[in-house]
């Protein structure tokens, strides 16, 4: 979230799209209720289904799954053509005025530089025009034909209300009503918040959907504002923490990145990431990359990391490609992986195309599962009849199950969607032989280190030298780990303005990432978490909810990264002179000498407004990007591409380029995509309030609340197929088939799309062959093995099925 | 066993005066249907607090689960898909005991002290005194009490009388994530409802209102409804609930006859005991005892 949960109460308009907050985030949804009850907020829900969120909304708009970019592109077109944007904000805080390189084009669904064979782009033309001074050229009148504003206007002019209605199936009048509600927030004293979740991310165009929403918000001046922002509601209490700590194959903690195969030179690696400002006077905060990186390496390798050995840069793995979950299972299916460690993860249920997964897991020599529950993955070799029909005798994979604790059985911190780190305490002792994940990992590490020490091997250094100074080496405590992430001084640190003054003594905890050095004198395990455990103690455990501003920015409750800042880009809540756009929602303001206010300012604290430092300090331009340069795989402007399985078998905007041209498709998987003729119904998978993923089917209470697998279909489709509520139906895709009870509902209506009637089939995901709930099929029997072009998040939300009465 | 024997105002089938030692505030639970998202957290909290567990059932083609109130499910969410002039609405109502000021169950109950009403308005079943006749089920205008197959006693929501007696809110209120269920003095709840109704009317629900039906003397569980003129749209919430005429008859002319019948039952039971001996401890009870 750019903002945070409590801040939702400050919104005037709340758009729930690409998510179902009431269903999947009922506790956080209280702030939506609060905004409605005490801020007269309008709630709009845009979804293929009339959801639990829609049941309390002021307006519901149906949309075909996978067409969100078309819908939001239509909103952009509406805002631009009706001139309902926040002009001063757009001019000063976005790259609307920047001139784009002459070579950049968009024709027939493709941007310049496309390589059809490699399914990727040469992105060199996706750039600004540069001046002789090394800075990007701008035209502040926004009239230049090559400026971002004009190109954007032209790009989205195709997304007329008629085109939107034709692609999305949303009735034109309903679409226009939504546009009008959104447009009311283009004035400085009204804000809109977008609440989304996996309904946006789990598409082959997921990242670009979110970008389109960010563009809408930039045009309305709603980023950095209380009650504004683009807010990802994370699907797990600590999934934000997972990405923050870099548990993705190409990341290091704090969104630092692993070097690629060809990046063997330390200086070149750092230079590429220490991004220089693209406009004069801009902060371009990533210039500090070397400080974060070197401090991380000092945290990992201590005295072994020296200036002379480039702080052990050579010890880092160099990636030939990103090893996302689809890539890993592809390799496994090809027999190129021998072993797989699976921790707190149930991939058999959580990765698409179960048939492929079973085939892949069966090729492993060994599988280690670290989990509190007997997951389907750990039992993939068991035969469970129709629900999981495998020949156990033919599977030779050795499965090792290591029981772990669950969150309530240990101390630690969880990082919520709003970036708050909140400390929690053990509530119960773990049962049986269960051990904390840290203890299990430590055990494995110590054993491997011992083997390396004893037997040597080609490359023992990275393991043998890893810092491991825990009181009990076999069981590092959450407290010790948290202090390590925060970081400490390895030498006495002096005040940069007065070198005689020592601000931190050697060994003391850092106050924040502002004190990090690139000379090896500081250690920090995750720079964005620096400040969470200082010499003042564990700030994540703070529980003071006093809120002097009334905006919900409780600065003494827990700790929010970065730097305890609650609303990102909050400098943008003020005009160029440093005066808040909305005097009722004063997050920060320029008091004449410094930035002050109810939040930690997201700017250099003494940067005078007259100096023109932009509010988007992580960007080299200092402004928000309506044009994304070369950062996105499929283009600098979002474009509507159909899901890989589309019920209309075409793209009404450009029939030759139907689906995301830059998405990676493995060879065998393309043959497994179905066509509309055979599989006429648009299917989508989702969660229910009563359950959490594949866990709570193991608990009796949740299973009482939703005991049995079902699919949702509209009354019209049910009538066509002779299905009544409560009947068993069979649903199949090109990859497999499931059976479930039919819930026949008015809440799913057929949509008119490109001259065709499109029915949706809703498929909740929570059932499987383990647990106390009634046995069911893993929903991922049906889903396609393809992901977003940038993140590789699988397209669970849009695919095709057929259906009949079982 | 009554936890609050000092403030009982009414007992079933009892002619002696009720204890009037303690005065307590009249309470109410207000369920704002317009804020409810149907998450069923209240159902879970109810089972957890009261240590009841229903069976893991089946899906009957709807979201409602368990499908109906049972001796173990004292509250259930009921989901109605309704077309109104606003288009499709998904009206979700938490169903359970309304704690009537004039409780039909209590009036119908022939077992002395099996149903009591506290001064704060809560209507509570004292299962120890229950004879399992099911008259309370007939007497209830909301179709709430359920007979247990296990022990032939009748169960329903207690409004967490045990929690309320020590100054806590009912479990469902504590757990409700959106603040759709609130609890306090009846006066405060009516005031809170009035504020909500103003907001709803501003959003175009012209007939928004409070459900506190006077046919049963008002209730200690009340609803805020978007369509207070048509409560039956909310899965059959009765528009004008009243105590059935049969209960009136029972309490009037038929009472001596019924008392006689009760006496006969007692004689019959004694005869059964003499003939067949005491009940055997069933396996399940024995197992529980050992644990």
pLDDT tens per residue, range B125-154: 999 999 999 999 999 999 999 999 999 999
Instruction: For residue A414, give the nearest of A534, A236, A249 by alpha carbon.
Output: A236
How many Cβ atoms sit within 10 Å of the Cβ of residue A308?
6
**Residues with pLDDT less than 50, chain A:** none
Q: How does pLDDT run across A9-24, given as a tens digit for each residue?
A: 999 999 999 999 999 9
In B, which residues are within 8 Å of A708 by CB distance?
A: 57-59
Q: Label residues A41-64 b or e (16+ Cβ within 10 Å = b).
A: bbbbbbbbbbbbbbbbbbbbbbbb
Q: Is the pLDDT of residue B261 over 80?
A: no
Residues A351, A221 share a domain: no
In A, which residues are within 8 Å of B30 by CB distance?
A: none
pLDDT of residue A172: 98
The domain boundary residue, chosen from A394, A426, A450? A450
Specify burial of residue B260 (Cβ count, 10 A radius: 0-12, 13-18, 19+): exposed
Domain-embedded: residue A638: no
pLDDT of residue B263: 61
Q: Are B82 and B93 in contact (CB under 8 A)?
A: no
Q: Where are the domains of chain B?
A: 5-244, 253-290
Indicate the residue of B36, B47, B59 with minimum beta-carbon distance to A707: B59
Residue A410 in contact with partner chain B when CB distance is under 8 A: no
CB-based contact A741 B61, cutoff 8 Å:
yes
Q: Is the pLDDT of residue B286 over 70?
A: no
Domain-embedded: residue A798: yes
pLDDT of residue B259: 58
Residue A37 in contact with partner chain B when CB distance is under 8 A: yes
pLDDT of residue B227: 98
Q: How does pLDDT run across B215-255, given as a tens digit for each residue?
A: 999 999 999 999 999 999 999 999 999 997 767 665 554 55
Q: Which of B46, B56, B201 to mutate to test the interface with A (most CBs of A within 10 A)?
A: B56
Euclidean distance between CA atoms A421 and A527, whole angstroms: 14
Q: Is the pLDDT of residue B280 over 80?
A: no
CB-based contact A22 B39, cutoff 8 Å:
yes
The domain boundary residue, chosen from A235, A258, A279? A235
Q: Are A416 and A240 in contact (CB under 8 A)?
A: yes
Please tell me which residue of chain B has the smallest CA distance to A62. B88
Instruction: For residue A140, give the nearest of A185, A91, A94 by alpha carbon.
Output: A91
Question: What band does B18 get if pLDDT is binned at 50, 70 and 90?
Answer: confident
Residue A55 in contact with partner chain B when CB distance is under 8 A: yes
In A, which residues are within 8 Å of B177 by CB distance?
A: 26-27, 29-30
**Helix orientation angle between A68-81 and A206-220, rounded to the nearest 10 degrees:** 20
Euclidean distance between CA atoms B117 and B11, whole angstroms: 7
Specify burial of residue A418 (Cβ count, 10 A radius: 0-12, 13-18, 19+): buried
Residues A188, A59 share a domain: yes
Q: Are B174 and B45 in contact (CB under 8 A)?
A: yes
Domain-embedded: residue A617: no
Residues A332, A200 share a domain: no
How many residues comprise chain A? 806
Residue A772 in contact with partner chain B when CB distance is under 8 A: yes
φ, ψ of residue A49 to 5 degrees: the values are -115, 150
Indicate the residue of A689, A742, A746 with minimum beta-carbon distance to B39: A689
Q: Are A417 and A455 in contact (CB under 8 A)?
A: no
Range(s) of the domain holding residue A38 = 6-235
In A, which residues are within 8 Å of B200 by CB distance?
A: none
Q: What is the CATH number of the domain that holds A360?
A: 3.40.50.740
Q: How does pLDDT run across B180-194, given as a tens digit for each residue?
A: 999 999 999 999 999
Q: How does pLDDT run across A213-235, given as a tens digit for each residue?
A: 999 999 999 999 999 999 999 99
How many Cβ atoms sit within 10 Å of the Cβ of residue B267?
10
List of residues 6+ apart from A770 with CB closer than 8 A: A373, A374, A375, A376, A379, A697, A698
Q: Tell how strand A736-745 and strand A756-758 pair up.
A: unpaired
Indicate the residue of B37, B61, B87 with minimum beta-carbon distance to A56: B37
pLDDT of residue B271: 60
Rounded to the nearest integer, the mean pLDDT of chain B is 89
Q: Which of B61, B74, B80, B84 to mutate to test the interface with A (most CBs of A within 10 A)?
A: B61
**Helix orientation angle between A30-39 and B186-202, rounded to the nearest 10 degrees:** 80
Euclidean distance between CA atoms A338 and B162, whole angstroms: 59
Angle of CA points A192, A195, A196, to nearest 5°: 140
Residue A725 in contact with partner chain B when CB distance is under 8 A: yes
Q: What is the 3-state secondary structure (H, E, C) of B186-236?
A: HHHHHHHHHHHHHHHHHCCCCCCEEECCHHHCCECEEEEECCCCCHHHCCC
Domain-embedded: residue A654: no
Domain-embedded: residue A466: no
How many residues comprise chain B? 291
The domain boundary residue, chosen from A235, A251, A271? A235
Please tell me which residue of chain A has the smallest CA distance to B62. A743
Euclidean distance between CA atoms A635 and A673, whole angstroms: 24
How many Cβ atoms sit within 10 Å of the Cβ of residue A366?
12
Euclidean distance between CA atoms A646 and A658, whole angstroms: 9
> How many angstroms separate the most distant Cα atoms in chain A?
85
CB-based contact B54 A742, cutoff 8 Å:
no
Residue B51 in contact with partner chain A when CB distance is under 8 A: no
pLDDT of residue B55: 96
Indicate the residue of B47, B54, B65 with minimum beta-carbon distance to A706: B65
pLDDT of residue B1: 40
Residues A90, A200 share a domain: yes
Q: Are A339 and A366 in contact (CB under 8 A)?
A: yes
CB-based contact B88 A60, cutoff 8 Å:
yes
Whether CATH 3.30.70.20 fits B5-244: yes
Euclidean distance between CA atoms A588 and A670, whole angstroms: 51
ipTM of the complex: 0.95
Please tell me which residue of chain B has the smallest CA distance to A31. B178
Residue B196 in contact with partner chain A when CB distance is under 8 A: yes
Specify burial of residue B253 (Cβ count, 10 A radius: 0-12, 13-18, 19+): exposed
Long-range contacts of A393-400 (CB under 8 A, 24+ apart): A394/A362, A395/A362, A396/A362, A397/A361, A397/A362, A397/A363, A397/A364, A397/A365, A397/A366, A397/A367, A398/A365, A398/A366, A398/A367, A399/A366, A399/A367, A399/A368, A399/A369, A400/A366, A400/A367, A400/A368, A400/A369
A577 Rama class: left (phi>0) / alpha (psi -120 to 50) / beta: alpha
CB-based contact A743 B63, cutoff 8 Å:
yes
Instruction: For residue A694, give the nearest of A234, A242, A350, A235 by alpha carbon.
Output: A350
Euclidean distance between CA atoms A355 and A352, whole angstroms: 9
Please tell me which residue of chain A has the smallest CA distance to B204. A58
Residue A724 in contact with partner chain B when CB distance is under 8 A: yes
Q: E strand or H helix at A173, and its extent?
A: helix A172-183
A162: Cα separation from own chain's centroid: 31
CB-based contact B39 A742, cutoff 8 Å:
no
- Rounded-to-5 percentages of helix, strand, coil across chain B: 35, 20, 50
φ, ψ of residue A447 to 5 degrees: the values are -70, -45
Interface of B with A in 202-261 (CB under 8 A): 202-203
Instruction: For residue B156, give the nearest of B236, B68, B93, B237 by alpha carbon.
Output: B68
Specify burial of residue A673 (Cβ count, 10 A radius: 0-12, 13-18, 19+): buried
Q: Spell out where A292-378 has E strands.
A: 339-343, 366-371
Question: What band does B289 get if pLDDT is binned at 50, 70 and 90?
Answer: very low
Domain total in chain A: 3
Q: Spell out where chain B has E strands.
A: 8-11, 27-32, 76-84, 87-95, 115-118, 123-125, 146-147, 154-155, 181-185, 209-211, 221-225
Specify burial of residue A643 (Cβ count, 10 A radius: 0-12, 13-18, 19+): buried
To the question of whether residue B235 is assigned a binding role by annotation, the answer is no
CB-based contact B57 A705, cutoff 8 Å:
no
């Amino acid at each position: 979230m750019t903002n945070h949960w409590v801040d939702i109460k400050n919104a005037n308009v709340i758009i729930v799209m690409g998510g179902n907050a009431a269903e999947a985030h009922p506790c956080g949804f209280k702030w939506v209720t609060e905004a409605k009850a005490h801020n007269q907020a309008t709630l709009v829900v845009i979804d293929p289904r009339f959801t639990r969120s829609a049941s309390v909304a002021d307006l519901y708009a149906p949309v075909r799954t996978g067409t969100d970019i078309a819908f939001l592109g239509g909103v952009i077109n509406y805002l631009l053509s009706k001139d309902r944007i926040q002009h001063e904000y757009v001019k000063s805080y976005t790259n609307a005025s920047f001139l784009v390189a002459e070579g950049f084009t968009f024709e027939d669904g493709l941007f310049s530089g496309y390589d059809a064979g490699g399914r990727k782009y040469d992105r060199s033309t996706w750039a600004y025009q540069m001046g002789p001074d090394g800075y990007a050229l701008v035209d502040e009148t926004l009239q230049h034909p090559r400026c971002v504003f004009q190109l954007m206007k032209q790009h989205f002019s195709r997304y007329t209300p008629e085109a939107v209605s034709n692609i999305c199936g949303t009735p034109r009048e309903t679409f226009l009503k939504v546009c009008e509600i959104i447009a009311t927030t283009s004035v400085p004293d009204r804000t809109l918040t977008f609440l989304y979740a996996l309904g946006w991310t789990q598409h082959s165009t997921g990242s670009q959907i979110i970008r389109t929403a960010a563009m809408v918000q930039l045009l309305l001046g709603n980023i950095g504002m209380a009650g504004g922002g683009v807010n990802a509601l994370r699907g797990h209490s600590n999934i934000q923490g997972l990405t923050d700590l870099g548990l993705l194959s190409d990341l290091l903690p704090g969104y630092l990145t692993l070097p690629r195969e060809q990046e063997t030179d330390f200086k070149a690696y750092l230079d590429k990431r220490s991004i220089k400002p693209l406009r004069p006077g801009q902060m371009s905060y990533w210039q500090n990359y070397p400080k974060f990186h070197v401090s991380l390496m000092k945290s990992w390798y201590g005295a072994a990391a020296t200036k002379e050995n480039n702080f052990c840069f050579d010890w880092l793995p160099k990636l030939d490609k990103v090893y996302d979950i689809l890539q890993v299972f592809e390799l496994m299916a090809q027999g190129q992986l021998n072993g797989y460690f699976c921790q707190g993860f149930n991939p058999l249920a959580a990765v698409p195309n179960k048939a492929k997964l079973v085939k892949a897991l069966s090729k492993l020599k060994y599988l280690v599962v670290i989990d509190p529950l007997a997951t389907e993955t750990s039992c993939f070799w068991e035969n469970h009849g129709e629900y999981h029909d495998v020949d156990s005798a033919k599977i030779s994979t050795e499965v090792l199950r290591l029981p772990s604790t669950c969150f309530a059985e240990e101390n630690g911190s969880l990082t919520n969607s709003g970036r708050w780190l909140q400390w929690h305490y053990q509530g119960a002792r773990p049962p049986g032989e269960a051990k904390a994940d840290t203890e299990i990992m430590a055990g494995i590490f110590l054993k491997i280190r011992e083997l390396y020490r004893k037997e040597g091997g080609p490359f023992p250094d990275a393991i043998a030298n890893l810092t491991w100074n825990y009181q009990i080496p076999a069981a590092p405590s959450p407290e010790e780990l948290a202090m390590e992430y925060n970081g400490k001084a390895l030498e006495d640190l002096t005040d940069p303005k007065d070198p005689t003054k020592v601000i931190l003594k050697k060994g003391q905890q850092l106050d924040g990432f502002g004190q990090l050095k690139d000379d090896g004198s500081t250690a920090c395990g995750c720079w964005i978490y620096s400040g969470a455990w200082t010499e003042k103690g564990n700030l994540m455990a703070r529980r003071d909810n006093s809120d002097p501003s009334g905006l919900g920015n409780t600065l003494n409750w827990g700790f929010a990264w970065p730097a305890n800042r609650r609303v990102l880009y909050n400098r943008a809540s003020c005009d160029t002179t440093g005066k808040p756009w909305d005097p009722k929602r004063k997050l920060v303001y320029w008091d004449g000498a410094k930035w002050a206010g109810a939040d930690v300012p997201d700017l250099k604290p003494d940067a005078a407004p007259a100096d023109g430092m932009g509010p988007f300090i992580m960007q080299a331009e200092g402004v928000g990007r309506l044009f994304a340069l070369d950062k996105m795989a499929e283009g600098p402007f979002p474009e509507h591409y159909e899901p890989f399985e589309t019920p209309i078998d075409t793209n009404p905007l450009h029939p030759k380029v139907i689906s995301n041209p830059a998405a990676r498709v493995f060879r065998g998987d393309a043959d497994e995509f179905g066509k509309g003729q055979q599989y006429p119904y648009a299917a989508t998978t989702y969660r229910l309030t009563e359950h959490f993923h594949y866990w709570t089917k193991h608990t009796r209470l949740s299973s009482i609340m939703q005991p049995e697998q079902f699919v949702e279909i509209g009354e019209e489709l049910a009538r066509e197929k002779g299905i009544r509520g409560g009947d068993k139906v069979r649903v199949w895709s090109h990859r497999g088939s499931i059976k479930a009870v039919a819930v026949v509902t008015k809440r799913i209506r057929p949509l008119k799309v490109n001259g065709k009637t499109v029915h949706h089939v809703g498929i909740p995901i929570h059932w499987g062959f383990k647990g106390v709930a009634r046995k069911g099929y893993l929903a991922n029997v049906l889903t396609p093995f393809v992901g977003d072009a940038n993140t590789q998040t699988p397209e669970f939300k849009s695919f095709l099925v057929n259906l009949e009465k079982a | 066993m009554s936890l609050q024997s000092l403030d009982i105002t009414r007992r079933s089938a009892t002619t002696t005066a009720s204890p009037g030692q303690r005065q307590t505030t009249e309470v109410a639970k207000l369920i704002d249907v317009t804020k409810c998202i149907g998450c069923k957290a209240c159902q879970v909290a109810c089972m957890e607090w009261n240590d009841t567990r229903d069976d893991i059932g089946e899906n009957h083609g709807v979201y409602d689960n368990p499908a109906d109130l049972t001796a173990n499910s004292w509250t259930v969410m009921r989901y109605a898909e309704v077309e109104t002039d606003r288009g499709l609405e998904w009206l979700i109502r938490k169903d359970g005991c309304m704690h009537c000021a004039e409780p039909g169950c209590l009036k119908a109950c022939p077992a002395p002290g099996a149903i009591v009403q506290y001064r704060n308005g809560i209507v509570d079943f004292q299962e120890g005194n229950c004879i399992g006749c099911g008259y309370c089920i007939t007497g209830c205008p909301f179709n709430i009490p359920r007979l247990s197959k296990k022990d032939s006693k009748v169960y329903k929501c207690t409004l967490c009388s045990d929690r309320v007696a020590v100054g806590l809110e009912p479990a469902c209120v504590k757990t409700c994530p959106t603040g759709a269920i609130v609890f306090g003095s009846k006066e405060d709840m009516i005031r809170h409802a009035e504020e909500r109704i103003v907001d709803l009317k501003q959003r175009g629900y012209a007939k928004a209102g409070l459900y506190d039906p006077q046919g049963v003397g008002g209730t200690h569980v009340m609803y805020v409804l978007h369509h207070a003129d048509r409560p039956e749209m909310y899965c059959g919430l009765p528009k004008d609930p009243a105590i059935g005429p049969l209960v009136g008859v029972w309490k009037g002319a038929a009472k001596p006859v019924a008392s006689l019948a009760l006496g006969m039952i007692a004689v019959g039971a004694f005869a059964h005991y003499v003939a067949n001996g005491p009940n055997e401890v069933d396996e399940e009870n024995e197992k529980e005892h050992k644990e």
